[in-house]
Amino acid sequence: MSAITLSHVSKHWGPMRAVDDVSLTADEGSLLVLLGPSGCGKSTTLRLIAGLEETDAGTITIGGVDVTHLNPAQRKISMVFQSYALFPHLSVAENIVFGLRVRGVSRAERDARLKRVADIVDLGHLLERKPSQLSGGQRQRVALGRAIIAEARVCLMDEPLSNLDAKLRHEMRTEIRALQQRLGMTMVYVTHDQTEAMTMADRVVLMRDGRIEQNGAPEELYNRPATAFTARFIGTPPMNLLRQGDRLIGVRPEHIRIVSGGDHVVRVKAVEHLGADSIVLCEFDGQPISVRLDGFSKVSPGDNLPIAWDADHEHRFDPASEARLDNIVKEDRLAASGQ
Amino acid sequence: MTDAAVSPPVAERRAGSQAWWNAVNAWLLLLPAAVLLVAFTHWPILATIRHSLFITRRNGTEVFVGLDSYQAMAADPIFWKALINNFWFALGTIPTSIALALLMAIWVNRNMRGRGFLRLAYFTPTVLPMIAVANIWLFFYTPDYGALDQLRSLFGLGGWNWLGDPSTVMGCLIVMVIWKEAGFFMIFYLAALQQLSPDLDEAASIEGASRWYIFRRITFPLLMPTTLFVAINAVINSFKLVDHLVIMTKGGPNNASTLLLYYIYEVAFTFQDSSYAATLTVVLLILLSAVALIKFGYLDRRIHYQ
């Protein structure tokens, strides 16, 4: 059974269509990522699911129950805010059990659950502290603890890692994913960071201007971007999009090889050494193109490189609508390999 | 080698003179503020305390009388009357104006039509000159043809000399001061409310907290620094009120509306008894320092500051 379903949900702010006819489904126990650039409507979509905003059209169901017109508390969800929304005057323990106190859970049970949750999020030694005495990562854990103590089946996360530094973000990413799978929660996770989406999600919903651009598993978005927008958004560095006459083609940087007597010659503009590989930023017919090379590449700016790529690594898009044009041959081959 | 042997003392001396210059610099930077503080706060306080221990003869010579003035004060029924009046006045104005200010701030801190106009309207009493304010209220309270009595006559009630009756004059003043202060305090509450993240409200409402529960457990505790600030101001204001009394009641009738500072003003400038005025001022000082001590010594430690 699907845990969360949105069907034809819209939300307008005056003439601005923040969320425009969005339909999606998050399966029970899965992690769905709402991905997109800022202002694409992903946070509004999450707030609609939470009940913090009223829908203008469409219906939302959680666990098979129509919750479109229920208030946030009646939806039986938990949520982690970007700012963590910790109550600054309450201790860590009081923050975590806040919801239980509201619902009048007995003191003994509160304490028992607090102990369990504090172990899960590893905060046992900090329970008496105030949020201002904690580091960013610890605050994040408090927010997580508050979200999981209610044992709600659905947990919503609004860019929970965007205030952390890169290293911590990486740790928390794995931790949140592990927690979600361990507790079997259905999670909707909003982010603008495609790395988070790719590494954590069971399903990624990429949004743009209030509409869904593509909805699929992470590898689907990566391997078969439905539009040039998706191609540009997913991957670091993103897919190279090249206009060749009236064609718009895309090639991933890692699919480009340097071969003597290659099909094209590009001029190197800059080289970024990442350690395990190097990104060579080049110019091709006046268009930027990046090439991923293994190891510490020795090419230097100003060099001319002969390059080539396999035809089946080429993604074709309609130059006007930027929608994917699938060549029949490749479709057939994929179908064959799937069988 | 010689260099190494010589250089430490030089460096030390240089470091020493550096520290000395730093200290001089710091004191010079503090000087303007320190001069103002000493000249207009500390020195007058000490002078007042000294003055309260002397009396001035007609020929201008000062005679040390010790605590005589304080004994006279303890036997002065008007002083006690003013002190008790001040107590009731503070009790009548402070809690009500703070509660009203908070209520209005929460009401105005929402997205609604005419919000700016409402905020302005609440703030007007603070902007108006006090003399004008006193005159407006004088008109309300005027017997027979004042606004209040005209309202009474609609219900067939007779005129009432609001400010001329010892039983109503204090109530009249309290109402006026609440009207004046609540708008001013509202501005502070409004500023504090706008500092609060709406996320906190939303996080609490997702947990199922009611509006009242959120106010009681989240909003009000987080507003405590503002409440304290406003309360201290209200206490100080309740001891500071003079101008309205001069215009409206002159402390009367029968000292029913005399407050401490007004009494000090009368003693100093009407009765020309500056040493007794100094004695009364010392009492006022002690009262206000007690308030400050409670704030810094006790309340600040119990309140969450962000």
Structure confidence by residue, pLDDT tens digits, B185-201? 998 999 999 888 889 99
CA angle B133, B138, B139 (to 5 degrees): 105
Q: Do A83 and B202 touch (CB under 8 A)?
A: no
CB contact under 8 A, A79 and B218: no
Q: How far is B192 from chain A (nearest CA, A)?
A: 14
Kindly list the residues from chain A whose CB atom is less than 8 angstroms away from the CB atom of residue B208.
Answer: 73, 99, 102-103
- How far apart are the CA of A63 and the nearest CA of chain B, in angstroms? 17
Q: DSSP label at B218? A: I
Residue A336 has pLDDT above 80, yes or no: no
Task: Please answer yes or no on whether B207 and A85 come within 8 Å at the CB atom.
Answer: no
Q: Which residues contact B236 (CB under 8 A, 6 or more apart)?
A: B288, B291
Query: Using beta carbons and an 8 Å cutoff, which residues of A are at the interface with B?
Result: 50-52, 71-73, 77-79, 81-83, 85, 87-89, 98-99, 102-103, 130, 132, 146, 150
Cβ of residue B218 closer than 8 Å to a chain A Cβ: yes
Nearest to B199 among A83, A98, A102 (CB): A83
Terminal Cα distance for chain A, rounded: 27
Rounded to a whole number of angstroms, the distance from the CA of B188 to the nearest CA of chain A is 20
Q: What is the pLDDT of residue B4?
A: 47
Which structure tokens are listed for B30? Answer: 């503090």
User: Between A and B, how many residue pairs show a Cβ–Cβ distance under 8 A?
Assistant: 59
Between CA A277 and CA A209 the distance in angstroms is: 34
- Can you tell me the mean pLDDT for A249-253? 93
Q: Among B204, B213, B306, select the one facing A88 at the smallest CB separation.
A: B306
Which of B94, B114, B111, B99 is CA-nearest to residue B215? Answer: B99
* Per-residue confidence band for B127, with pLDDT thresholds at 50, 70 and 90: confident
Query: Strand, coil or helix: what is B63?
Result: strand
Q: Is the dihedral of CA A230, A231, A234, A237 positive or negative?
A: negative
B55 bridge partner residues? B63
Smallest Cβ–Cβ distance between A50 and the set B206, B209, B217 belongs to: B206
Query: Measuring CA to CA, how many Å separate A69 from each of A55, A61, A75, A80, A195?
Result: 8, 10, 10, 22, 34
How high is the pLDDT of residue B142?
82
CA-based nearest distance B190→chain A, Å: 19
Q: What is the ipTM of this complex?
A: 0.81
| Residue range(s) in chain A whose domain bears CATH number 2.40.50.140 | 237-337
pLDDT of residue B246: 80
Is it true that domain A2-223 has CATH number 3.90.100.10? no
| Å between B107 CA and nearest CA of chain A | 20
DSSP string over B183-207: HHHHHHHHHHHHHS-HHHHHHHHHT
Cα-flanking dihedrals φ and ψ of residue B58, to 5°? -60, -35
B270 near A CB under 8 A: no
- The verdict on a CB contact (< 8 Å) between A102 and B208 is yes
State the Cα–Cα distance between residues A113 and A152, nearest whole angstrom: 13
B207 in contact with A, Cβ within 8 Å: yes
Say if the Cβ atoms of B207 and A102 lie within 8 Å: yes
The answer on pLDDT for A102 being more than 60 is yes
pLDDT in tens, A10-20: 999 888 889 99
Mean pLDDT of B160-175: 82
Pairing type for strands A304-308 and A264-273 reads antiparallel
Integer distance in angstroms from the first to the last C-alpha of chain B?
56
For chain A, residues classed under CATH 3.40.50.300 are 2-223
Chain B residues with CB under 8 Å of A188 CB are none
Tell me, what's the pLDDT at A320? 86
Among candidates A323, A182, A229, A186, which has minimal Cα distance to A35?
A229
**A253: pLDDT strictly greater than 90:** yes
Distance between CA atoms of A212 and A25, rounded to whole angstroms?
Answer: 12
Confirm if B101 and B185 have CB atoms less than 8 A apart. Answer: yes
Give the model's pLDDT for residue B5.
47
- How far is Cα B129 from Cα B229, in angstroms, rounded to an integer? 23
Q: Is residue B111 less than 8 Å (CB to CB) from chain A?
A: no
Q: Is B208 on the interface with A (CB under 8 A)?
A: yes
The β-bridge partners of A266 are: A305
What is the token pair recorded at A75? 């939806």
Nearest chain B residue to A47 by CA: give it.
Answer: B202
pLDDT digits (tens, 9 = 90+) for B32-91: 999 999 999 999 999 999 988 988 777 778 888 888 889 888 888 889 999 999 999 999
Confidence of residue A2 (pLDDT cuts 50, 70, 90): low
The model's pLDDT over A186-239, given as tens digits with 9 standing for 90+, comes to 999 999 999 999 999 999 999 999 999 999 999 999 999 999 999 999 988 999
3-class DSSP assignment, residue B1:
coil
| Burial class of residue A69 (count of CB atoms within 10 Å of its CB; 0-12, 13-18, 19+) | exposed
CA contacts within 13 A on the Cβ side of A53 = 19
Q: Which tokens hold the place of A222? A: 């990566």
**Residue B157: DSSP 8-state:** P
The pLDDT score that the predictor gives to residue B26 is 94
Q: B56 by DSSP, 3-state: which?
A: strand
Contact state of A98 with B197 under an 8 Å Cβ cutoff: no
For residue A338, pLDDT beyond 60: no
Q: Distance of CA B281 to CAs A82, B91, B260, B266, Å?
A: 54, 21, 9, 12
Q: Which strand ranges, in their side-by-side order, compose the sheet holding A65-66?
A: A16-27, A2-13, A57-62, A65-66
Decide if pLDDT at B271 tops 90: no
Q: Which tens digit of pLDDT belongs to each residue from A105-117?
A: 999 999 999 999 9
In chain B, residues with a C-beta closer than 8 Å to the C-beta of A94 are none
d(C-alpha A140, C-alpha A138), whole Å: 5
Q: How far is CA A45 from the centre of its chain?
A: 14
Percent of chain B with pLDDT strictly greater than 70: 95
The verdict on B198 touching A (C-beta cutoff 8 Å) is no
Cis amide prior to A288 (ω within 30 degrees): no
Q: Say whether B205 and A71 touch across the interface (CB within 8 A).
A: yes
Band the pLDDT of B99: cuts 50, 70, 90.
very high
Q: Average model confidence (pLDDT) for chain A? A: 89
- Residue A252's nearest CA partner among A309, A199, A305, A303 is A309
Of B205, B208, B221, the CB nearest to A89: B221
Which positions in chain A touch B220 (Cβ < 8 Å)?
none
What is the average pLDDT across A72-98? 93
Superfamily of domain A237-337: Nucleic acid-binding proteins (2.40.50.140)
pLDDT grade for B17, boundaries at 50, 70 and 90 = confident
Angle at A231 between CA A225 and CA A234, to 5 degrees: 100
Give the span between the Cα atoms of B43 and B281, in whole angstroms: 14
Q: Chain B residues with CB inside 8 Å of A102's CB? A: 204, 207-209, 213
Interface test mutation site (partner A, options B201, B206, B213, B306, max chain A beta carbons within 10 A): B206
Q: Binning pLDDT at 50, 70 and 90, where does residue A328 land?
A: very low
For residues B48 and A336, give the distance between their C-alpha atoms in angstroms, rounded to a whole number: 101
